[in-house]
Structure 1
């Protein structure tokens, strides 16, 4: 072995190789900068056999291979090689190959024994990328069955190592500490109204004036890198971007010391497995871009989140590798304690369609037979299986030949389907040019994919990267060129549920076939077409609609051609503001055409009527005085006696609507329903025969009048003139004497005089006051001193005795 640099892991290499040889598995926990990515593979290869190193990112894979080859004094591709999507440098002499996790999954699918491989090193496990978690599960399964001799070493900077060691079969844990220098922490939160990019640029300028050395800046994505680079124009330093979409030459430039002071603007690729030399200062925006899927709205993509505490610590550690350093954190100091401890595993939130296809190809469609760090959630897994069935990749749980072809392309299954079918229709090259943009929408210069493709063909700054990827994709498929291509159709082949129709003539809002509304931003270049094929859409939290980021103009004919499985014709009877019966032709959630249905089935009409009642309540029906009285009487019985007397509150009546709506066919019919008869249909038998006895509609008073009882309040009441109840000494009751009736005593003019539930007490204490007050106002009426012995009368005025 060549002379290795004096990095912290070097002294531990003999122990690492010994434990891997002895146990077959091991976990190495070492922070960035210790040499675990470069020195450990060299030591494992020196101890015998071929080593494959799995990296989560292409940039990290190429950089690690280049560093190891340089240590050996060889070009890349001899002893140390690499393989990433679209690029491979290996030879018959290669003993260490650095690959991306996703590529190794594909290699494992085609060769489950990993023939010729002795050791797999899984680097940066703590990042918890979807492909890396899947790869770990498949490797453990292969080791349990076909390759018990396959050695596995998992390395990480920060991780719950005990759980990982248990997953690897109680693997030994080796810890290596980094030799670091002191780091000074400064917090520079955004000013009021300041964007985080402006805050970062301000922190960089401060750092350049206060600290020596290069500056490493962490930003969430390429767009933020471009904006910060623009804000730093004119500074006395070289500003270099670093992210996975850059050309190889630009990536390499950021990883080499420069003749001048440098400011390296990086995404998360520089957090762990890459070394950026000369760094003394770290400026951290405190944000990261992660994959998320909104299953309810059918939109998946990248969102910006706060970093975890572990990631913030890793980033900060970059400042103290070579000398004392300083970290500028662009968030308030008090917020640091609120950061999540570790990054969220991607498997919990990401689109699982590609993972699900890989599981099906492995022979375990739901992944239940595998050992997982975190198992895929059941709901997203089921949704992904449905998507794969719709693409023809699965038949039940079994992979179809089409599914195998899709998996071999190494793309998201939707994109792979568009490439295969697009190539068959338009030609491999033509389809590949569009699919390259769908797979990497950062290639698009605008929302309009047609104008973006024209710019790429004419030589935009992104053209070289686009041509390289289009050439690679074209080599993967067959198809005779037709000399033309329809980007809208290619998009629709990938995302039929994103075909969208404008909601109104002057609206910028479109309804997608999947049921989600999206808005076309101003200045999109697409005009205001009636139809769109949406390639990329996202949703800003709090906004009413999603936002179209990449699309093509389409029409109804294209939509129906591209998504026949979504087209259906149904007879629909629903409640809108009334019963609406129509025959509808739909594309998913989009109504294509409709016409009235003259004779809808009666059961469907009844269901629509009940839907209307659920939406609008009993306001759709009319309760006359008799119905209101009966409802109140039944309510009293239910409250007092319970079963079998039914509840008649709104919820109960709505629940029983099927029994009383009769032949109502529309809103007007509902208004004519006899609610007295409706209530009587709810009466229990034979108890109903005692209704009048228990809660009489009227009660006869001493005068002989039969007065209507008011049951509308909490307690029944009897409004009656005072003179009509002379001689009564006890208040009446209902419900077999259980409920007293309150007397509302009226004046001769029918105005309220007193309310009492204790008639005997009223005659003694209340009546004298009433008599004194009213006898002067109504002198012609009888006001006896003793009402308990006076004869009652229904007449208003005293009659003269006949002679």
Structure 2
């Protein structure tokens, strides 16, 4: 094994190494704060944590990464440099999976894991420094984690070292926020980029193949098949004139599968990379452990935008689309929408091609359209559902997210809608303070509605069954024919997609442990006949989303949801009412996913 100080004395050839002495000097001051700006590929994720760990004698350095796949990849990369297995000097913790030991000095985590750790023990015992990596992505959990950490610094841990890595466009504002909250300006360190030459090309779609439009027979607006065919043609044409592996950015799993089906390329391995894959499948792509002499085309969602280096990539093909959270405040419906990717995101993606040598980046849009793109994506705190964030703040002792330092304030309308939902769940009182139920919900690794369903259905269904159905519901599955009941029955028998079943089992085991009351006693079980799988799912769905309850409109397969929205079942699905079972809950379970 190789000690951390030995790694720093003989580091890999990365641009960030030039500033590690500055990092060490800054961290030597108790309660220091740092803002480090660096373009992709400079090695900040790999070398900043060891530099901090060596500068701070004893204690642990916790580093957040925006996605679970990045958490594991970063831990694996640093451990490899130390000639160790993950779980020794370097470990990680994500939802449902942790590999650490008493000897762990650097721990990679997701922001959600850090948030719940802060809630359990704000003192953060044994932790000397926290690094919020890729802060410029402005994920809601990362913004919230920074706000709570600054509160901890002000009242409990003046010695806690905070470090943020950020794109240059956010660095000034981020530094000002840290200075105002801590009473002293942070140390700002800039890592100059040493990227290889990058050839940026443009591949605009032909007329009739624009990116967004009607994408199916139901009239839904989405990414058009014609555009995805254009992306596939662009990949094939680009492959003919380049060398090295190709990384293709697409907005979601559906688009990945459609492009994959059109990429019959002899002698080339076409591989998906997205969050729905099993950790083992993700790690194989990122580690290159299954590499052969064949060229690879990796079709990826945004998880490969930053923090990750996909081995062998010299070419990027970018669909220039992004899937981002939005909330219909009036109806309280969170959703993911596909939008044109910002220039900052496209530039991050293009940088993947020039990490290992001269690269090529092809953007599937016209160069004239580039100027109309937004410079930065909107931060999630301004667009996403705030229900869980508001509950976290209420449990922290900051009702209404007040008294905390945010880079951008949460919108008033979204806060009011989130507060209304939490009061209806009994999670906060009229003053916005967390109730005992709300505090328990804040500790669960699911949103408040799903947490409420877990805790309230467990006495009726049994904790194990309730946990399994909540885990299934949280997957957001688009059930064939909108029949989620059939998916639940098949999953209970162990049938279906192995990766999906593995995620459900893993999450269900964790939820089962966390559902037990604080006094350690098993929840009292309600007597009565055991409900069927579909009835049990209907109960869980109704507790989590009472707005999904529906009544069939007379004489039609259309439904009126309890929240006032309309819903319709696919034509091939037989109406429950017409089959002689007009159960509102059954209708809700079958119809809600298509609402």
TM-score normalized by structure 1?
0.65
2:442 and 2:96 map into 1 onto residues whose CA distance is 16
Q: Helix, strand or coil: the match of 1:281?
A: strand
Which aligned pairs between 1:615-634 and structure 2 lie closer than 5 A? none
Tell me the CA shift for residue 221 of structure 1.
1.1
1:127 and 1:102 map into 2 onto residues whose CA distance is 15
Tell me the CA shift for residue 476 of structure 1.
2.1
1:443 and 1:430 map into 2 onto residues whose CA distance is 21
2:574 and 2:16 map into 1 onto residues whose CA distance is 55
Tell me the CA shift for residue 82 of structure 1.
0.4
1:16 and 1:488 map into 2 onto residues whose CA distance is 54
Partner of 2:423: 389
Q: Helix, strand or coil: the match of 1:51?
A: strand
> Are 1:280 and 2:314 an aligned pair?
yes
Partner of 1:224: 255
Residue 559 of structure 2: which of 510, 529, 541 is its match? 510
Distance 1:25 1:86, change over 3 A: same
The number of aligned residues is: 541
Partner of 2:69: 59
Residue 447 of structure 2: which of 412, 430, 453 is its match? 412
Tell me the CA shift for residue 234 of structure 1.
4.5
Partner of 2:230: 199
Question: Is contact 1:32–1:157 with CA below 8 Å preserved after alignment?
Answer: no
Greater C-alpha radius of gyration: 1
1:509 and 1:525 map into 2 onto residues whose CA distance is 12
Partner of 1:470: 508
Question: Is contact 1:441–1:550 with CA below 8 Å preserved after alignment?
Answer: no
Q: Helix, strand or coil: the match of 1:199?
A: helix
1:53 and 1:536 map into 2 onto residues whose CA distance is 40
Question: Is contact 2:481–2:572 with CA below 8 Å preserved after alignment?
Answer: no
Q: Helix, strand or coil: the match of 2:80?
A: helix
1:310 and 1:263 map into 2 onto residues whose CA distance is 23
Deviations 1:732-786, CA, capped at 9 Å, x for gaps:
xxxxxxxxxxxxxxxxxxxxxxxxxxxxxxxxxxxxxxxxxxxxxxxxxxxxxxx
1:550 and 1:469 map into 2 onto residues whose CA distance is 24
Which structure has greater helix proportion?
2
Partner of 1:164: 174
Higher relative contact order (CA 8 A, sep 6+): 2
2:588 and 2:269 map into 1 onto residues whose CA distance is 36
2:552 and 2:562 map into 1 onto residues whose CA distance is 11
Partner of 2:152: 142
Moved more, 319-328 or 412-421: 319-328
Tell me the CA shift for residue 470 of structure 1.
2.2
> Are 1:8 and 2:52 an aligned pair?
no
1:332 and 1:528 map into 2 onto residues whose CA distance is 51
Moved more, 281-290 or 197-206: 197-206
Partner of 2:305: 271
1:226 and 1:183 map into 2 onto residues whose CA distance is 28
Residue 190 of structure 2: which of 175, 198, 201 is its match? 175
2:87 and 2:138 map into 1 onto residues whose CA distance is 29
Partner of 1:455: 490
Q: Helix, strand or coil: the match of 2:323?
A: strand
Deviations 1:669-718, CA, capped at 9 Å, x for gaps:
xxxxxxxxxxxxxxxxxxxxxxxxxxxxxxxxxxxxxxxxxxxxxxxxxx
Segments of structure 2 that go 5 or more residues without pairing to the other structure are 180-184, 210-225, 517-522
Distance 1:536 1:94, change over 3 A: farther
Question: Is contact 1:33–1:321 with CA below 8 Å preserved after alignment?
Answer: yes
Question: Is contact 2:568–2:594 with CA below 8 Å preserved after alignment?
Answer: no
Partner of 2:331: 297
Distance 1:229 1:362, change over 3 A: same
Tell me the CA shift for residue 199 of structure 1.
1.7
Tell me the CA shift for residue 16 of structure 1.
1.5
Tell me the CA shift for residue 472 of structure 1.
2.4
2:271 and 2:113 map into 1 onto residues whose CA distance is 29
1:533 and 1:162 map into 2 onto residues whose CA distance is 53
Question: Is contact 1:495–1:534 with CA below 8 Å preserved after alignment?
Answer: no
Residue 269 of structure 2: which of 227, 233, 238 is its match? 238
Partner of 1:125: 135
Question: Is contact 2:53–2:60 with CA below 8 Å preserved after alignment?
Answer: yes
Partner of 2:546: 496
Tell me the CA shift for residue 217 of structure 1.
0.7
2:260 and 2:433 map into 1 onto residues whose CA distance is 50
> Are 1:402 and 2:409 an aligned pair?
no
1:86 and 1:225 map into 2 onto residues whose CA distance is 26
> Are 1:189 and 2:223 an aligned pair?
no
Deviations 1:162-185, CA, capped at 9 Å, x for gaps:
110011112121111221122112
Question: Is contact 2:329–2:413 with CA below 8 Å preserved after alignment?
Answer: no
1:394 and 1:87 map into 2 onto residues whose CA distance is 30
Distance 1:382 1:533, change over 3 A: farther
Question: Is contact 1:281–1:326 with CA below 8 Å preserved after alignment?
Answer: yes
RMSD: 2.0
> Are 1:46 and 2:54 an aligned pair?
yes
> Are 1:94 and 2:75 an aligned pair?
no
2:447 and 2:594 map into 1 onto residues whose CA distance is 17
Tell me the CA shift for residue 550 of structure 1.
5.4
Tell me the CA shift for residue 4 of structure 1.
2.2
Question: Is contact 1:294–1:300 with CA below 8 Å preserved after alignment?
Answer: yes
Q: Helix, strand or coil: the match of 1:522?
A: coil
Distance 1:535 1:417, change over 3 A: farther
Moved more, 467-476 or 290-299: 467-476
> Are 1:522 and 2:567 an aligned pair?
no
Deviations 1:125-159, CA, capped at 9 Å, x for gaps:
01110100000101011101111110000002353
Tell me the CA shift for residue 474 of structure 1.
2.2
Question: Is contact 2:482–2:593 with CA below 8 Å preserved after alignment?
Answer: yes
TM-score normalized by structure 2?
0.87
Partner of 2:470: 435
Question: Is contact 1:500–1:534 with CA below 8 Å preserved after alignment?
Answer: yes
Deviations 1:596-623, CA, capped at 9 Å, x for gaps:
xxxxxxxxxxxxxxxxxxxxxxxxxxxx
Question: Is contact 2:27–2:55 with CA below 8 Å preserved after alignment?
Answer: no
Segments of structure 1 that go 5 or more residues without pairing to the other structure are 538-546, 552-803
Q: Helix, strand or coil: the match of 1:301?
A: strand
2:423 and 2:333 map into 1 onto residues whose CA distance is 19
